[in-house]
Amino acid sequence: MSYCERRTEAGILYVREDWAAEAPSVDVVLFDCDGVLIDARPSYDAAIRETVAYILSKLVQRAVTRPVSRRLIHRFRQSGGFNNDWDTVCAILWGIAAQLPEQWVEDFLQADAELADRGLRDAAERFLAYVGRLRRPKTMEEVIELRRPFPSTVLRRRLFELAACAESSGLPSVERVILEEWGISGRRREAFRAFQRFLRYPGEPEQSIVIRVFNELFYGAAYCRERFGWEPRFHLGPGLVDEERPIIADETLRWLERTFGRARLGIVSGRARESARRTLGDRLELFNPGALVFLEDEWGNAPAGATIGKPEPYGLWRALGALGEFRRALYVGDSAEDALMVERARDVRLEFVGIYGTGYGAREKIAGFRARRAVAILPTVNELPELFRQT
């Protein structure tokens, strides 16, 4: 399928050649949040980096130097299986733990043998107990090692290779690469399994070290007390969510309301409603409240057996069900998971619009969206009016 190109101040619009015939029948528009309505780079992306750095620095008892790059996060997301940032944190930690020195392997296994059956109350108590058991550097060689950059270039390279092998199944594909393709065995394999149990991910937020540290960094101490009812132990300051800013302009929202009406606008996002509300504020009132699906809030509330996270189309079906009959719907997203979710919905009336200009890897995104036959590929959500104006 070929595309026409239109130049705007924000960048190039790539429009599928059959768009002009389809545009008049569009009567529903659904949106992702991160990278579409909200700039999540200072919040979610930063929370991934800081969560990994915090957990890793305590476990290896040394300073760490940028263990997570934007390129690494982007590579995981491009697999189609890492829309959930907790998953990305877990995958990176797995990849690092599988490569740590033999001495750390033995130290961690010893700590696990002493603490695994202690019945530690929650993630914070477990984390601090394990860190307290790990052996401190003693020999001159070990002290000198602390001065070397960590993670090493080799370790970083292998992390990127791990991300490149990730698939749309997400964490199971990463686990398979570590256990089968990397071929870790013996005591290292035993330590890796113990490390997985230590993280408790997936798991209940209060018990999972990944979720607990991430949420304290993302939401901030005060909000964690209010919303989750736990006393912060890892981060006592404000949350990274406070750094977010809306991408969608008020002018674009007014155009959407005039063109489609509030009753025909919805959101399907992996985040929680409250975090979206904190950034978007009253703008959320311009969407159909029944078609606001925030997948983080769906855990524990969805029907038994339902697979909630992207790229599964659960959220799309929920939102479209609330909107009633429609002729043609657009889902506006910025990631491979978003495009794959639309494909898996298997509804010919549903089309994908890709956003490429609000995150890392614009060229790769454009190529990926074209390969998945996006009806249009835009620099930002604010070019939607331009897309419809020139049909």
pLDDT in tens, 319-335: 999 999 999 999 999 99
Domains and CATH numbers, the chain: 3-40+244-389 (3.40.50.1000), 41-241 (no CATH)
DSSP reduced 3-state for 350: strand
pLDDT at residue 121 is higher than 90: no
pLDDT at residue number 146 = 60
pLDDT at residue number 139 = 64
Mean of the per-residue pLDDT values of the chain: 93
pLDDT at residue 154 is higher than 60: yes
**pLDDT, average across residues 106-110:** 95
Question: For residues 368 and 63, what is the distance between their CA atoms, to the nearest angstrom?
Answer: 37
pLDDT per residue over 47-57, tens digit each? 999 999 999 99
Q: At what angle do helices 123-133 and 46-60 cross, to 10 degrees?
A: 40
Q: What is the DSSP letter of 355?
A: E
Question: For residues 27 and 24, what is the distance between their CA atoms, to the nearest angstrom?
Answer: 8
| Of 120, 277, 116, residue with least CA distance to 212 | 120
pLDDT at residue number 390 = 64
Pair 293, 272: CB distance under 8 Å: no
Indicate left, alpha or beta for 253 from its phi (over 0: left) and psi (-120 to 50: alpha): alpha
pLDDT at residue number 176 = 98
61 phi, psi to nearest 5 deg: 55, 50
